Amino acid sequence: MPDRLSVNPRSPFYNPEVLKHDVGIRFKGTERFDVEEYCISEGWVRVAAGKSKDRFGMPLTIKLSGPVEAWVKR
Protein backbone atom coordinates (compact mmCIF):
# COMPACT_ATOMS: atom_id res chain seq x y z
CA MET A 1 0.00 0.00 0.00
CA PRO A 2 1.24 3.53 -0.70
CA ASP A 3 2.11 5.76 2.25
CA ARG A 4 -0.42 8.37 1.11
CA LEU A 5 -3.57 7.85 -0.97
CA SER A 6 -6.59 9.95 -1.94
CA VAL A 7 -9.92 9.08 -3.57
CA ASN A 8 -10.18 12.56 -5.12
CA PRO A 9 -9.05 12.54 -8.80
CA ARG A 10 -7.83 16.17 -8.45
CA SER A 11 -5.32 15.19 -5.77
CA PRO A 12 -1.68 14.44 -6.66
CA PHE A 13 -1.98 11.37 -4.38
CA TYR A 14 -4.82 9.83 -6.41
CA ASN A 15 -3.84 6.38 -7.73
CA PRO A 16 -6.53 4.59 -9.79
CA GLU A 17 -4.45 1.38 -9.99
CA VAL A 18 -4.53 0.96 -6.20
CA LEU A 19 -8.18 2.05 -5.93
CA LYS A 20 -9.26 -0.74 -8.30
CA HIS A 21 -8.85 -3.02 -5.30
CA ASP A 22 -10.97 -2.69 -2.18
CA VAL A 23 -8.79 -0.71 0.26
CA GLY A 24 -9.48 -0.98 3.97
CA ILE A 25 -8.53 1.72 6.48
CA ARG A 26 -8.25 1.21 10.22
CA PHE A 27 -7.97 4.43 12.24
CA LYS A 28 -7.36 4.25 16.00
CA GLY A 29 -8.29 0.55 15.93
CA THR A 30 -11.66 1.07 14.19
CA GLU A 31 -12.34 0.34 10.52
CA ARG A 32 -13.49 3.51 8.73
CA PHE A 33 -15.47 3.64 5.50
CA ASP A 34 -15.62 7.45 5.05
CA VAL A 35 -11.91 8.24 4.56
CA GLU A 36 -11.15 10.67 1.70
CA GLU A 37 -7.35 10.64 2.11
CA TYR A 38 -4.81 9.11 4.48
CA CYS A 39 -1.10 9.27 5.32
CA ILE A 40 0.39 6.36 7.26
CA SER A 41 3.80 7.92 8.07
CA GLU A 42 2.32 11.19 9.40
CA GLY A 43 -0.58 9.41 11.14
CA TRP A 44 -3.70 11.21 9.88
CA VAL A 45 -6.86 10.73 7.81
CA ARG A 46 -9.21 13.21 6.14
CA VAL A 47 -12.94 12.56 6.43
CA ALA A 48 -15.97 14.50 5.18
CA ALA A 49 -17.30 17.09 7.63
CA GLY A 50 -21.00 16.31 7.41
CA LYS A 51 -22.81 17.30 4.24
CA SER A 52 -21.01 20.64 3.82
CA LYS A 53 -19.61 21.46 0.39
CA ASP A 54 -17.00 23.97 -0.71
CA ARG A 55 -17.56 26.45 -3.56
CA PHE A 56 -16.50 23.83 -6.12
CA GLY A 57 -19.03 21.28 -4.87
CA MET A 58 -16.44 19.08 -3.16
CA PRO A 59 -17.08 17.90 0.42
CA LEU A 60 -15.37 19.84 3.20
CA THR A 61 -12.97 17.60 5.08
CA ILE A 62 -11.40 17.55 8.52
CA LYS A 63 -8.04 16.07 9.42
CA LEU A 64 -7.97 13.56 12.28
CA SER A 65 -4.68 12.47 13.86
CA GLY A 66 -3.89 9.00 15.15
CA PRO A 67 -2.49 5.62 14.13
CA VAL A 68 -3.48 4.58 10.58
CA GLU A 69 -3.37 1.12 8.99
CA ALA A 70 -4.19 0.39 5.35
CA TRP A 71 -4.63 -2.95 3.57
CA VAL A 72 -6.22 -4.51 0.51
CA LYS A 73 -9.39 -6.44 1.31
CA ARG A 74 -9.73 -9.80 -0.39
Q: What is the pLDDT of residue 29?
A: 95
7-61: pLDDT as tens digits: 999 999 999 999 999 999 999 999 999 999 999 999 999 999 999 999 999 899 9
Q: What is the pLDDT of residue 9?
A: 93
Domain extent, residue 67, equals 4-72
Using CA atoms, how far residue 67 sits from 26, 28, 40, 55, in Å, is 8, 5, 7, 31
For residue 70, the model assigns a pLDDT of 95
SS3 19: helix
Which H/E stretch holds residue 17? Answer: helix 16-19
- CB-based contact 33:22 (threshold 8 Å): no
Structural domain count of the chain: 1
| pLDDT at 74 exceeding the cut of 90 | no
